[in-house]
Amino acid sequence: MNQELLYKYFKGITSVEEEKMILDWIDASDENRDIFLKERMIYDISLFSDKQGNNEKKTVHIMPMLRWAARIAAVTIVAIAGYFITSDFLYNKEVQLQTVTVPAGQRAQIILADGTRVWLNSKSTMKYAANFGRNERNVELDGEAYFEVAKNKNIPFYVHTETN
């Protein structure tokens, strides 16, 4: 990379194309990044020594570095968000079911998370999602049951049977 172009970048007077070319060069390898950082250090030291030598003020443009840092932060945020989205939606697709089985000669009463009451008859089995009531209200029934369904216009209540 041309030292003159890097110093132009450090001063904050590069065009958008030149800035992109420099950033791509930095991202191309660790060696390029090290060269960039060394050149930046030399540039900063030369500015400091110039100020110490003749006490004249020079403007240091830190906007390119801030833009570069902002880009890195944006990529990091997108990567983290992508990880959480994919881990939540792709890896947790398997729904955990709760199963209630009533033995012969007995009955059972269950109150679901949404407040629905279910009375299961003898030799009946009911399955429902562990997160029942959040996004949907579905139950699978094998046998006989009586339902007192809690009202919720936004999430309908469905009973699935073998004959369904």
Asked whether the CA dihedral 37, 42, 48, 54 is positive or negative, the reply is negative
Read off φ and ψ for residue 129, nearest 5 degrees.
-70, 150
Distance, in Å, from the CA atom of 104 to the CA atom of 102, rounded to the nearest integer, reads 7
pLDDT at residue 61, rounded to an integer: 62
Distance, in Å, from the CA atom of 5 to the CA atom of 35, rounded to the nearest integer, reads 13
Q: Structure pTM?
A: 0.43
Distance, in Å, from the CA atom of 147 to the CA atom of 132, rounded to the nearest integer, reads 15
Q: What is the residue type of 35? A: I
Q: Select from 105, 95, 75, 164 the least CA-distant residue to 136.
A: 95
Distance, in Å, from the CA atom of 164 to the CA atom of 156, rounded to the nearest integer, reads 17
Asked: is 97-161 a CATH 3.40.640.10 domain? The reply is no
pLDDT at residue 146, rounded to an integer: 96
Domain range annotation of the chain: 3-89, 97-161
pLDDT at residue 6, rounded to an integer: 84
pLDDT in 10s for each residue of the chain, 164 residues: 788 888 888 888 888 898 889 889 888 988 888 888 888 888 888 776 655 555 555 566 666 777 778 888 888 888 888 877 776 555 555 678 889 999 999 999 999 999 999 999 999 999 998 888 888 899 999 999 999 999 999 999 999 998 75
pLDDT at residue 87, rounded to an integer: 66
